[in-house]
Structure 1
Amino acid sequence: MLTPFERMIAKRYLWPGKGEAFIALVAGISVGVVMLSVAMLVLVMSVMGGFRSEMLDKFAGLNGHAVIQAYGGELDDWERVLADVQATDGVINASPLIEQPLMGAFNGRSNVIFVRGNTNEDIASMSDKVIMGDMASVVPGRGKVAIGVQLATNLGIRVGDTITIINPQGRATPFGTSIRQVGYEVGAIFEIGLYDFDETFVIMPMSDAQTLLLLGDKIGLIEVTVTDPDNVGDILGGIEEQLTGRAVIADWKTINSTLFEALEVERVAMFFVLSFMVLVASFNILSSLVMLVRAKTRDIAIMRTMGASRRSLLKIFVTTGTTIGSLGTVAGLILGFVLLYFRNPIVNGIAAVTGVEIWDPQVRFLTTLPVRVDPWEIAGIVALGIGLSFLATLYPALKASNTDPVQVLRYE
């Protein structure tokens, strides 16, 4: 705690006098650099955290946190396996699933598609993703499907049109295998937010998918959602042993290992690089305090002769430097949150000025720039900014506290 005397002197040194404009300029630059570095850390870490979280949520919403995939694409006795998975501790939900790459065509146009056969419950849960049509119309036996918005754009399909799904694995005839071409009415158009999925996915009831793919009552996959995605391997370890030789379990880390590992490496590297900006700002604080100590050497000597202790001088200069760092950190947090709030207009504005598409959904997977503010990360950034500022004050503060008033005032 500061005494009234220490508080008064620290406040005075935060606003140098008229003849010390250069010291004030360096201190102002220090505040600005701390502000920008903290703002960039908040912006980059929140966007990258949002990217990872949004990607995980999108993938989990479509494939769960793990999928049980049968060898050969057909899982026998899947009802018993499903029951065992649902009874496993840590499993929130498990659903049967059919997924097969095929070809879709409309009005002379064609596109590679992924046909997904879902349960009625899973189809109904996608109602919030629908942008046109009604997901409630996609029910077994009605010959209706739901398609992604980019697929609809590529093929020029609207709700009510008929998309032809081509299955090369048809029925055997005396003249060879006939290719199956089945028309389905588009009952809904959805947008998941992942460009690749919106461009290829066709959702239909499971029974319709089994008929299209000639699977009988078999399925190919079971998607699993767990309570702790980071420990999905441990949660499903027992099930994996039971399915040895019949099926393999692939979790979200394995399926998208390259993407998520690259995100994690980039996230750590960006934090490390941007932290050097805070370090540079702390050196600015150090230099401004060193100049302040040299400019105030006579004042320091007089205060020492008047009874000010070395501890008091140490506290004064530590408080002055730490306050500069704290002001920059708080300003950086405000600036960072403002940039996060207006992130999409800023990106669109830069793209409009430069003519370069900064956020291309085909490259970034997501259609909008995501953000996720982690309170622990923010606390770490604040601690980094204030902590380095505090460390930068120690040398000039010790220099000031060790000032010998006899040597300074000998010729006064």
Structure 2
Amino acid sequence: MILNRYERTIAKRYLLPGKGEGFIFLVASISLGAVALGVAALIIVMSVMNGFRAELFDKIVGLNGHAIVQGYEGRLTDWQRIADQARKVPGVTSALPLIAQPLMASANGRVEGVLVRGVRRQDLLANRTITSNIKSGDIRSLEPGSGRVAIGTRLAEQLGAYPGSEISLISPEGRATPVGTVPRIASYTVAATFEVGVYDYDNSFIIMPMEDAQNLLMMGDQVGMIEVMVTDPDKIQPQVAALQNIVAGKGAVVDWRSMNAALFEALEVERVAMFVVLSLIILVAVFNILSSLIMLVRAKTRDIAILRTMGASRHGMMKVFVTVGTIIGSLGIVLGLIIGAIFLFFRQSVVNGIQFLTGQNLWDPSVRFLSELPSKTDPFEVTAIVVLALLLSFLSTLYPAWKAASTDPVQVLRYE
């Protein structure tokens, strides 16, 4: 929509407050602010929801893999062959043996349920999810036969155990005696603590060398599962089908969607629902634009009639008022983008500040899984939000513009 010189002049004049038009300007300013808040709210919420999904996916997959080959009864005997064949499947990047067993841990008179994970030393040192989140101690000291383990920071707080402390692991699969089965108890030294940022993991995980886990659980050379990573986790079905053929009769294959289906589906539903609900803020804002333009048309009826007698066309009048409303919406969108970017940049500081002022813990990791407010802005979603706001702003100008173009100069100026 291209405006000629006089139309641009009129549009500029109507955007600025004239004598006795302060109220109209105030309503237009409120409309601009409402659009800005709506756009900012949508960008902030969608970025945080995307951040939740990305952080949870990275950390959960970093510890559990994209798929798990689980042996029946929790054991795989010929895991070396299965791992070798799994690595040959197109799209599979790695297949690593793993032991995961729920046990009990005790230290300083405290007892907690834990999940013991046995991994090969080279695989542990290559896992960035663990090695990049060591809070104390030295993860490299976990060597087979050393009697050392690494535990999550939350678990360390619960047990009062830190690097150098002794903890005992209690396995119900003990040895048979004349009086029954005696649980197996083994003592280990805490070598390091880690915090991956997922509360359930930091509160329960104990990591030890594969050989030590096999000895503790009396598994011999067996492992519990094989962790599989692929190139494209969103299109993992072909790899899962191939792995099921490899492990047929000896185990089952579970991908990351099945392992965390309830969590990720809930996040997706909430994400869509929040987008729809918050879009109503923009819809309310454009109604303000509609009302401010209607008042402007009413206030400028005499001016419009004079312009029409001087040769201004109906189409030209429509373009003027469409431009005025669209500019108000566009300025609101730009301001909303700026507000959203600033909030996301300082998001954790904002949360900490609100917690300090209210004295309430707004970000309890035991409820929200993650220890910090995440954010991941999707350029395509931002573009969709901008287009939606711009389209609604444009549509809200059509009726006032049509009313302005329909002004009959004869009727308006009859008694002038």
Task: Output the amino acid matched with 2:357.
Answer: V
Q: Which runs of 5+ in 1 are unaligned?
A: none
Partner of 1:43: 44
SS at match of 2:236: helix
SS at match of 1:333: helix
Partner of 2:164: 160
**2 CA distance for matches of 1:261 and 1:236?**
20
Q: 2:77–2:221: 8 Å Cα contact kept in structure 1?
A: no
Deviates more, 1:300-309 or 1:93-102: 300-309
Say which of 377, 383, 391 aligns to 1:373: 377
Instruction: Measure, in 2, the Cα distance between the counterparts of 1:93 and 1:335.
Output: 43
Q: Does 1:254 align with 2:268?
A: no
Counterpart of 1:194 in structure 2 is 198
Indicate the SS of the match to 1:396.
helix
Alignment match, 2:296: 292
Cα shift at 1:175: 4.6
Distance 1:382 1:169, change over 3 A: same
**2:405 is matched with which residue?**
401
Query: Residue in 1 aligned with 2:33?
Result: 32
- Asked whether 1:7 is paired with 2:11, we answer no
Q: Tell me the equivalent position of 2:344.
A: 340
Provide the C-alpha distance between the structure 2 equivalents of 1:188 and 1:170, rounded to a whole number of angstroms. Answer: 27
Q: CA deviation at 1:141?
A: 1.8
Structure 2-normalised TM-score? 0.96
- Corresponding letter in the other structure for 2:323: T
Deviations 1:29-73 (A, max 9, x none): 101111111111111111111111111111011101221111110
- 2:322 and 2:398 in contact (8 A); partners too: yes
Q: Tell me the amino acid that sits aligned with residue 5 of structure 1.
A: Y
Structure 1 residues 2-401: aligned runs within 5 Å: 2-124=3-125, 125=127, 126-401=130-405
Aligned with 2:288: secondary structure?
A: helix
Name the CA distance, whole Å, in 2 between partners of 1:280 and 1:247.
56
* Equivalent pairs, count: 412
Q: How far has the Cα of 1:293 moved from its partner?
A: 1.1
Q: Distance in 2 between matches of 1:234 and 1:399?
A: 60
Q: Distance in 2 between matches of 1:190 and 1:146?
A: 7
Cα distance in 2 for residues equivalent to 1:97 and 1:122: 10
Q: The residue matched to 1:178 in structure 2 has which SS?
A: strand
Superposed CA offset, 1:310-342 (max 9, x none): 222121111100110011111111111111122
1:411 aligned residue (390, 409, 415): 415
The Cα of 1:202 is off from its aligned counterpart by 0.5
Give 1:248's aligned amino acid.
A
Which deviates more, 123-132 or 301-310?
301-310
Output the CA distance in 1 between the equivalents of 2:246 and 2:240. Answer: 10
Distance 2:177 2:146 in 1: 27
1:233 Cα offset (Å): 2.6
Deviates more, 1:320-329 or 1:238-247: 238-247
- 1:304 and 1:234 map into 2 onto residues whose CA distance is 69
Superposed CA offset, 1:213-256 (max 9, x none): 11111111111222222222333222223433322222222111
Post-superposition CA distance 1:289-327 (Å, at most 9, x none): 111111111211222222222222121111100110011
Check the 8 A contact 1:127/1:134 in 2, yes or no.
no
Q: Is the 8 A contact 2:59 2:198 kept in 1?
A: yes
The 3 A distance-change label for structure 1 pair 397 and 234 is farther
Q: CA RMSD in A?
A: 1.4
